[in-house]
């Protein structure tokens, strides 16, 4: 390969890493960004990009007031400078103001420092000078981030969308736009709309059709019990919302791995309505037999139902836990509720007919003896070392204060084998 070819390949690789990788991470896997609300309680968020516009933004604000609806405006700093009275009105009427860059330019074609200082921070300063409140929510033009945006924009909450009716084209018309919104908007939706038609690719009169459609959509949403709120209100109950940007990104990446792990090893939930535990049948490979409290033993080659904690559920529980002990207490309570279902599954499902019992490895084993489990140390060796490292990494990622928890008493964080025989399950949990 010639030097020129190497340079071309290096350039192409850098372009891909700078542009395509963050696009896939954010737009497909929602890593480091928010696209919708969870546990929204019949709330949705209407968001409007590219304004303020002196012709259409006042009409839109009048419409929102008519329906007693709140919204979020991702504004351009250059337009906010020209129309401070519209920014002031948005703020006065209780709407949220976010940032959509100073000018409508793609982050792919700017250095990350330009995005931060000349686009986001500059616009935040302009809005703060008008309202007295500095915006902390950011949406990049066309939803496009570059690789370093994921790290440099850590002081902002990046919001994309879950519903895009494509309202920037006037040929769609208000009726078709209305039908799209009524069909796609549901609990937790973040809806992308535009109160200006001046940006590249948009039709100048498109917002008029959007406003006409939105009038009927807002009336229809009220009948369905959906309440339009600000983005910050929609996201207030999202798990992980109060975590730092880097930690949220790390959690999101791990959850993608979690989905891959579940699919790869074909884990099955114990209860589809309560995803705390998943199972798979496998042969026990330990060299040392596990002697259980009821006299049974699990030996190499025996079939076991391997128990796995659902890490997203664990993460959500960790958000509300002040300590690892409290997290363990919540897990014990939930596990106790699931034990009868676990027992019925092992006794009645043909795929578990030949298993000796339940088996798992966990660092959160405090109180498991109360439920009938035998708790034994992992045999020292490479497997124990790798397991210890893996589970500590897992705790760091999924626990909101994972770094602090790793500094607690080490005996509380030592992975152990927990196991219970099928006979013990039957004795304890079948009336």
Residues labelled as active-site residues: 49, 194
Residue with tokens 């309505």: 273
Pairing relation of β-strands 227-229 and 290-291?
A: unpaired
Dihedral sign for Cα atoms in the order 53, 54, 57, 59: negative
Q: What is the largest CA-CA distance in the chain?
A: 81
Contact in structure between 283 and 311 (CB atoms under 8 Å): no
Query: Degrees (nearest 5) of the Cα angle 318, 320, 321?
Result: 65
How many residues can be counted in the chain?
A: 431
Closest CA to 199 of 119, 126, 142: 142
Residue with tokens 């607690």: 408
SS (H, E, C) 278-325: EEEEEECCCCCCEECCCCCEECCCCEEEEEEECHHHHHHHHHCCCCHH
**Cα(first)–Cα(last) distance of the chain, in Å?**
74
What values do phi and psi take at 219, rounded to 5?
A: -65, -40
297 by DSSP, 3-state: which? strand
With tokens 């809005």, the residue in question is 127
Residue with tokens 């207490």: 329
- Per the DSSP assignment, residues forming a β-bridge with 280 are 306
CA distances from 411 to 75, 406, 416 (A): 52, 11, 10
Task: Annotate 323-372 with three-state secondary structure.
Answer: CHHHHHHHHHHHHHHHHHHHHHHHHHCHHHCCCCEEEEEECCCCCHHHHC
Rounded CA separation 236/387 (Å):
35
């Amino acid at each position: 390969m010639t030097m020129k070819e190497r340079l071309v390949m290096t350039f192409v690789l850098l372009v891909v890493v700078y542009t395509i990788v963050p696009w896939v991470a954010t737009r497909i896997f929602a890593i480091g960004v928010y696209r919708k609300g969870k546990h929204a309680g019949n709330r949705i968020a209407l968001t409007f990009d590219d304004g303020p516009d002196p012709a259409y933004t006042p009409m839109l604000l009048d419409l929102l007031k008519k329906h007693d609806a709140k919204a979020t405006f991702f504004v351009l700093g250059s337009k906010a400078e020209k129309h401070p009275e519209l920014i002031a009105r948005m703020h006065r009427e209780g709407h949220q103001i976010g940032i959509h860059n100073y000018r409508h330019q793609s982050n792919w074609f700017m250095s990350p420092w330009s995005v931060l200082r000349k686009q986001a921070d500059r616009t935040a300063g302009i809005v703060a000078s008008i309202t007295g409140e500095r915006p902390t929510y950011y949406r990049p033009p066309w939803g496009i981030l570059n690789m370093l945006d994921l790290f440099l924009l850590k002081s902002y909450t990046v919001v994309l969308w879950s519903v895009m009716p494509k309202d920037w084209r006037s040929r769609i018309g208000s009726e078709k736009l209305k039908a799209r919104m009524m069909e796609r908007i549901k609990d937790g939706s973040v809806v992308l709309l535009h109160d200006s038609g001046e940006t590249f690719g948009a039709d100048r009169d498109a917002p008029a059709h959007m406003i006409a459609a939105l009038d009927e959509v807002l009336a229809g949403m009220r009948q369905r019990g959906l309440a339009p709120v600000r983005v910050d209100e929609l996201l207030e109950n999202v798990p992980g919302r109060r975590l730092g940007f880097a930690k949220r990104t790390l959690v999101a990446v791990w959850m993608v791995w979690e989905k891959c792990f579940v699919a790869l090893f074909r884990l099955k939930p114990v209860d589809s309505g309560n995803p705390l535990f998943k199972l798979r049948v496998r042969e026990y490979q330990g060299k040392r037999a596990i002697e259980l409290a009821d006299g049974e033993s699990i030996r190499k080659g025996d079939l076991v139902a391997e128990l796995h904690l659902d890490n997203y559920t664990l993460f959500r529980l960790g958000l509300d836990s002040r300590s690892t002990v409290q997290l363990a207490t919540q897990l014990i309570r939930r596990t106790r509720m699931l034990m009868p279902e676990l027992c019925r599954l092992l006794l009645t499902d043909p795929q578990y007919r030949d298993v000796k019992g339940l088996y798992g490895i966990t660092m959160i084993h405090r109180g498991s003896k109360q439920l009938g489990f035998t708790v034994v140390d992992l045999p020292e060796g490479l497997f124990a070392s790798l397991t210890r490292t893996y589970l500590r990494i897992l705790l760091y990622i999924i626990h909101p204060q994972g770094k602090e928890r790793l500094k607690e008493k080490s005996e509380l964080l030592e992975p152990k084998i927990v196991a219970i025989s099928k006979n013990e399950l039957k004795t304890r949990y079948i009336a």
